[in-house]
Amino acid sequence: MIGTIKVKAENIPKLLSGLDSTKLKKTDQVRLARQVRQLLILYPKTMLIDTPEEIIGFMNNGQAVMLVNTKSPNELIAYARIHPWPGVNQYGQRLFEFRSWIVKPAFLNQGYGAYALHQAVALAKGLDLNAQIVAVVEKNSQRAFEVLQAAGGKALGKQQWPGNLRILLQQGTALTEVIDITEINNYLASVEIGSVQMKLSKRTKKNILLSIGRITNKRYLLSCLKNLVNVDKFNLYATEKTHQFLKENGVKTGLIFKISQSRSRPNIKHFLDAGRFDLIINIPTRKGKRKEATDGKVIRRSAVENEIPLVTDVSVAEDFIKKLIRQSK
């Protein structure tokens, strides 16, 4: 969670994340890009001043996150982007840098900056779940530093800086901090429970997908899933191994087949295409088979692109399931 910084449910903005902005009209892209540029100009000492053309390029490459006022569709609230660095860090991970994080002054201190932060992390994880994600912050940017730390970011000592970023940073100012934001939970963990309940309220009974890798993770979540299945507001669907484990332990779920099992029905792909999932709990195996890794990547990308609440961390999943149960009483 983000400390005391919350976006109220009635104020949830329209999210344009990844390739969403490619669906906009060219005139709307230009309008938003110019607003981003105007905000960046306000902070010449701490921001890279990208041109509108460069910003549109980031949109079309799926690297941008924008929050837009639903009451004024062409008004930008907040913007951020992820920058993929070439090569890998010293641990063999891809590296994404969180950049150009900015909120329109009229919307400051209302939780939108933190919301954009978590959406950007979700975007990066949708591209590569195992990547490292960092923010490079000037030490005099106190507010940004506070929000990043409140969200769970960890300041890295220079010896811990990603190897493919270290050389460039050491050539710059000594007042630079590198904050690791890889483990600040994910999209679902970042959203206040009320806003997720609003998201889930479109159906009388909500459909939840469970795809839980590793037997230890399945056992970890078993107790709270036993409680969740007794709540009449949720339909639980599970992939084959998860379904079998839960069935053997007295938890009733609907069996649904993975995308790689394309000839088997019902299939996750058809549910995703039809927008039938309200929540996805997809805990990866990390070192699974190639097909399993591909399935997980497609599921996570679809969740991010279609704004489906997504959990990829087992402890976050437990915490959120318990909150759903409490909210349903």
CATH of the domain at 225: 3.40.50.1380
pLDDT at 193 over 50: no
Q: Picking from 17-26, 172-181, 313-322, which range would have the lowest pLDDT averaged per residue?
A: 172-181
Does 217 lie in the same domain as 144? no
- What is the pLDDT at residue 223? 95
Does 198 lie in the same domain as 111? no
- What is the pLDDT at residue 313? 81
Query: Of 158, 184, 210, which residue sits at a domain end?
Result: 184
Q: Once rounded to an integer, what is the mean pLDDT over residues 156-184? A: 74
Does 197 lie in the same domain as 81? no
pLDDT at 197 over 60: no
- What is the pLDDT at residue 263? 76
Beta strand pairing status for 279-283 and 206-212?
parallel
Q: How confident is the model at residue 15 (pLDDT cuts 50, 70, 90)?
A: confident
Query: Of 184, 200, 228, which residue sits at a domain end?
Result: 184
Q: Picking from 144-148, 197-201, 247-251, which range would have the lowest pLDDT averaged per residue?
A: 197-201
Instruction: Between 202 and 29, name the one with better pLDDT.
Output: 29
Across all residues in the chain, what is the average pLDDT?
A: 81
Residue 314 lies in a domain: yes
- What is the pLDDT at residue 212? 93
- What is the pLDDT at residue 309? 80
Number of structural domains the chain divides into: 2
Does 50 lie in the same domain as 172? yes
The residue segments making up the domain with residue 234 are: 192-328
pLDDT at 191 over 50: no
Instruction: Between 192 and 274, name the one with better pLDDT.
Output: 274
Q: How confident is the model at residue 291 (pLDDT cuts 50, 70, 90)?
A: low
What is the per-residue pLDDT across 116-139, written as a single tens digit (0 to 9) for each? 888 888 888 878 877 899 998 877
